Amino acid sequence: MPPILELRGITKTFPGVLANDHIDLTLNEGEILAILGENGAGKTTLMNILYGLYSPDAGEIFIHGSKVNIHNPHDAIHLGIGMVHQHFMLIPVFTVAENVMLGVESTRAWGVLDRRTVSKRIGEISARFGLKVEPEVLVEDLSVGIQQRVEIIKVLYREADLLIFDEPTAVLTPQEAEEFFRVVHSLVEQGKSVIFITHKLKEVLEIADRITVFRNGRVVGTTTPSESTEASLANMMVGREVILTVEKKPAKPGEIVLDVADLHVTDDRHLMAVSGVSFQVRAGEILGVAGVQGNGQKELVEALTGLRSFSSGKVNLLGKDISRASPRTIREAGSAHVPEDRQSDGLVLSFPIKDNLVLNTYYEVPFAHGLNLNGGEIENAAKERVNEFDIRTPSIFLPASTLSGGNQQKVIVAREFSRPIKLLIAAQPTRGLDVGSIEYIHNQIVKKRDDGCAVLLVSPELDEIMSLSDRIAVMFTGKILDIIPTEKATKEGLGLLMAGVLSESQAEAA
């Protein structure tokens, strides 16, 4: 039996760039193929070719052994190819059923929508693949994990046999990711075939039947999980030895830098998001804040950096009360902030890289004297930063939007770390980054700690928290349930805390 999909010699160039260079790929029926590669390795370009969004310069595509031409997504759907994008294409104010039928509506006489038929088919798909959803619920009321299920149902509703998932777990909590893997397995059991694009090594080993690794637009190898380890995959991806564990010396905690006492913060809907949080961070240590996203971490960070005013509590930075201070005052007191959403908070994407490197210091000597900006100094500083922090760009005058995610984060890190800071607040500093960039940013954070900086690290990635932190605080529904020294912490114990389950001793303490 011929493979369900075969690509031969797919080549795609953009002006000046070879995005895909003679890619050969096969996918057998009922198989999970993981495509692994760093950001910009050409994975997404290839999938967009397969889905008809780009046309290849050269190469052939075979479906079930016969050659096909895919000019647009419509052709792709017709051939049984379905794609679940990283950013969901759902209309929040429509119901699940409405979203699923959008574009392929069933109608009765006079063009009246036949909701009953659609709901029935959704029910069948749900039952068959174990994708539980309520067809009549509005999409905006669903969690991200369930929204992804709706996306999968959409694809299955269009009778796809080959499903492409682009970075499917990037937006999911660990629990939701587990659930997602279960769904993928049931898809394959029912005879579907799956292509899974990712740069997360653990997932690949957990779920894939075969792994194809991309680097710089080329396939560098195909392997299976049993033949590979995280380290071997990382090396293939990056093309050099990658150290996955963060090497660090024991912490030498010094004076108290950040002192938070009984902090209460409300969210945008005026609901209590942080209720009575107290902790301290000392110079030369990393306090990791673990927790499933949406348990108040975002509001905590915003309160500590002056971006959100809070109802009660006290925040001290080096003995100075910054409870009601503005972001600028807090920064000037020696605090640095790597924001959770780098594109919306940390950068002005339309500004040149050089301006983004002085985004919050532009008014200080030597970048400005009074009202006058000193363009020369800003450029010199930018050139230094770009070299020092290895920001890959042909020019500091290009807008930040032209940078890859990893390099955008490096711009923020360069800006925040190059100042003499006493406190670093890093919220999900490696979100969506590739292995190479993660390694780099982790090392920079540890270096700051060793220089005597107090670090507050907030991340939903338990691995990141455990490998970097000296102490780990677990947040659940706006409270810190416990703070544990890392050497005493286990993944299972933290996982239970993240789900709100307290051991007896902890319950007493809390």
Partner 1 sequence: MSKASDKPSKPKIQEDRPRSFWQRLFVRKGVSGGIILPILAVFTALVIGAFIIAFSNMDTLAAWGNFFHSPLVAFSTTWATIRDAYSAMFIGAFGNPAEINKQLGIWLKTGENKALLAAIRPFGESLVLSVPYILAGLGVAIGFQCNLFNIGAEGQLYIGGLATALIGYSVHGLPWYIHAPLAILAGAIAAGIWGFIPGILKARFGAHEVINTIMMNYIAFRLTDYLLSGPMKSKGGIPVTPDVLPTAYLATLFPSPVRLHWGFFIALGLAVVVYWLLYKTTFGMEIRMVGANPKAAKYAGISVSKTMALTMAISASLCGLAGSIHLLGVDHRMVRAFSPGYGFDAIALALLGNSHPLGVVVASLLFGFLRGGAARMQSVAGTPVEIIRIIQGMVIVFIAAPEIIRGLYHLRSSRQQKKIAQTNISES
Q: Toward partner 1, which CB reaches closer, 229 or 401?
A: 401
**Minimal CA–CA distance to 54: which of 42, 64, 67, 66?**
42
Q: Toward partner 1, which CB reaches closer, 16 or 319?
A: 16
Least Cβ distance, residue 48 to partner 1 (angstroms):
11
Least Cβ distance, residue 299 to partner 1 (angstroms):
15
Q: Which two tokens stand for residue 478?
A: 């706006």
Given a contact cutoff of 8 angstroms between Cβ atoms, the answer to whether 186 and 197 are in contact is: no
Q: Toward partner 1, which CB reaches closer, 128 or 392?
A: 392
Q: Toward partner 1, which CB reaches closer, 60 or 388?
A: 388
Binding region for partner 1 (CB under 8 A): 14-19, 39-42, 45, 215-217, 220, 236, 239-241, 305, 307, 326-328, 331, 337, 339, 344-351, 355, 359-360, 362-363, 368, 371-373, 375, 379, 383, 386-387, 390, 392-398, 401-404, 407
Q: Which residues of 390-415 are buried (b: 16+ CB within 10 A; e: fewer)?
A: ebebeebeeebeebbbbbbbbbbbbb
> E strand or H helix at 49, and its extent?
helix 43-50
As a whole number of angstroms, the distance between CA 60 and CA 82 comes to: 19
DSSP 110-173: GG-B-HHHHHHHHHHHHHHHT----TTSBGGGS-HHHHHHHHHHHHHHTT-SEEEEESTTTT--
Q: Toward partner 1, which CB reaches closer, 149 or 215?
A: 215
For residue 234, give the amino acid letter.
Answer: A
Per DSSP, the three-state class of 351 is coil
Q: Is 268 exposed, middle or buried (0-12, 13-18, 19+ CB in 10 A)?
A: exposed
Least Cβ distance, residue 491 to partner 1 (angstroms):
32
Least Cβ distance, residue 101 to partner 1 (angstroms):
30
Q: Toward partner 1, which CB reaches closer, 119 or 212?
A: 212
Least Cβ distance, residue 351 to partner 1 (angstroms):
6
DSSP 418-469: TS--SEEEEESTTTT--HHHHHHHHHHHHHHHHTT-EEEEE-S-HHHHHHH-
Q: Toward partner 1, which CB reaches closer, 74 or 328?
A: 328
Least Cβ distance, residue 45 to partner 1 (angstroms):
8
Least Cβ distance, residue 392 to partner 1 (angstroms):
6
